Structure 1
Amino acid sequence: MQLRTGIGTDVHAFAQAASGRPMRLACLDWPGEVGLAGHSDADVAAHAACDALFSAAGLGDLGTQFGTDDPVWAGASGAALLVETVRRVRAAGFDVENVAVQVIGNRPRVGGRRGEAEEAMSAAVGAPVSLSATTSDGLGLTGRGEGVAAVATALLARSTG
C-alpha cells in the first residue's frame, strides 16, 4: 500500500453584515453569525480539506479543480465540494484514510459543535474527519476579526498490488 499526505489552507474574509450571507463552516450552518465572502459558500474548513485531498492525490488545488470562472460551483456548499473532491480523488486511484482540519478564528465558537461538525464532514468525505479550533491571540486578520482561516491535512492510500 502506498500512503500519501497532503496539506491545504483556506482563508475568507467576513461578508458585510448587511449582506445577509449565512455562515457556513465545517459543513454546518451557524445561525446568528455573519457569513464569509466567497464564490461558493466560503466554508474554510471544507475548502482546506478539499485542498489537502487534492494535494495528497497530486491533483492540484481547489482553484484548479473548481475555478471561480465556473458558474456550476457558484454558491456551492462545502459538503458538495467535498463529495465531488472525494469522487475525483477516488477516480485517481486513492482511498481517503482520514482528514484533520484546524479552524483559526475568533468566531464562530466551534467547541460546542465540534462533534456535529466532525460527523457532517466525515459523512461528506466518507472517512474520518477530525476538527479542532484555535485563535491567533489577536494577531493577523483572524485575530482582528476580519475573517476565518483553516489548515487541513489528508492521508490517502493507493493499493500497489
Structure 2
Amino acid sequence: MNDFRIGFGYDVHQLREEVDFWLGGIKIPHHSGAVGHSDADVLIHVMCDALLGAANLRDIGYHFSDQDPQYKGIDSKILLKEVLALVEKSGYALGNLDATICLQRPKINPFIPAMKECLAKVMQVEESQLSIKATTTETLGFVGRQEGVSAYCVALIHRKTPSSP
C-alpha cells in the first residue's frame, strides 16, 4: 500500500458576459463569468479532480454528472466537501495542493488570499496546505483572447494514521 499518492487535475470553462464569475469559492467582480452545469468554478473543479485522481477514485464528472439535474447550478464548494469525504473514506488525508489559474483578465493575484481563506475553511485544512497561483497566456490562445479560463492542480495525499486529522 502506498503511503503517499499524487493526483493531477485540469479543467477549462468558457467565459460569457453577464454571468457571475466564481473562482476559488469566491465571487470575482468582472463583466464575464465561467459557464458550466454547476457554478463553473474551474479552480475547485481541478482541485476535486486532483484529489480524486490521487485516491484513484476516477474524476469529478463520474461522481457529479453534468447530466444530473441535482448538480445544475450547484455551489462547487459542496462538491469539494464531498470529494474530501470520499478521499478520507478511502483512508487518505490531504498533504497539500498546488494550483495554477490561467486567465488573461481580470488579474487574480489580489483575490488569492480570500480564495485560500475560503477554501481552507471548506476543506478544514491550514491555508499553508493550499498554493494558488495565477498566470496569463500572454494574449495567446482562448485564454489570451478572453474566451475562457483554465486551471491545473496537483494534490498530494497521505495515508491516514490513527493520529491524523
TM-score by length of 1: 0.92
The answer to whether the 8 A contact 2:38-2:74 is kept is yes
Aligned to 2:89: 91
* Residue correspondence of structure 1 range 63-78 to structure 2 within 5 A: 63-78=61-76
Aligned to 2:121: 123
Counterpart amino acid of residue 7 in structure 2:
G
* Residue correspondence of structure 1 range 97-112 to structure 2 within 5 A: 97-112=95-110
Alignment partner of 1:59 out of 54, 57, 66: 57
* Shift in Å, 1:108: 2.5
Aligned to 2:3: 2
Aligned to 2:140: 139
- Aligned partner of residue 34 in structure 2, secondary structure: coil
Aligned to 2:13: 12
The answer to whether the 8 A contact 1:13-1:147 is kept is yes
The answer to whether the 8 A contact 2:19-2:31 is kept is no
Counterpart amino acid of residue 62 in structure 1:
I
Distance in structure 2 (CA, Å) of the matches to 1:153 and 1:115: 19
Counterpart amino acid of residue 2 in structure 1:
D
- Aligned partner of residue 50 in structure 1, secondary structure: helix
Distance in structure 1 (CA, Å) of the matches to 2:154 and 2:106: 21
Query: Which consecutive residues of structure 1, in runs of 5 or more, have no partner in the other structure?
Result: none
* Shift in Å, 1:98: 1.2
* Residue correspondence of structure 1 range 1-40 to structure 2 within 5 A: 2-15=3-16, 17=17, 20-40=18-38
> Considering only aligned residues, what root-mean-square deviation do their CA atoms show, in Å?
1.5
* Shift in Å, 1:74: 1.1
Counterpart amino acid of residue 49 in structure 2:
D
Distance in structure 1 (CA, Å) of the matches to 2:77 and 2:84: 11
Distance in structure 1 (CA, Å) of the matches to 2:139 and 2:57: 35
Query: Which consecutive residues of structure 2, in runs of 5 or more, have no partner in the other structure?
Result: none
What is the CA deviation profile of residues 122-145 of structure 1, one whole-angstrom value per residue up to 9, with x for unaligned ones? 222223211100011121110111
The answer to whether the 8 A contact 1:2-1:160 is kept is no
What is the CA deviation profile of residues 71-92 of structure 1, one whole-angstrom value per residue up to 9, with x for unaligned ones? 2211111211111110111111
Deviates more, 1:56-65 or 1:105-114: 105-114
The answer to whether the 8 A contact 1:33-1:108 is kept is no
Counterpart amino acid of residue 118 in structure 2:
A
Distance in structure 2 (CA, Å) of the matches to 1:53 and 1:147: 23
* Shift in Å, 1:160: 7.3
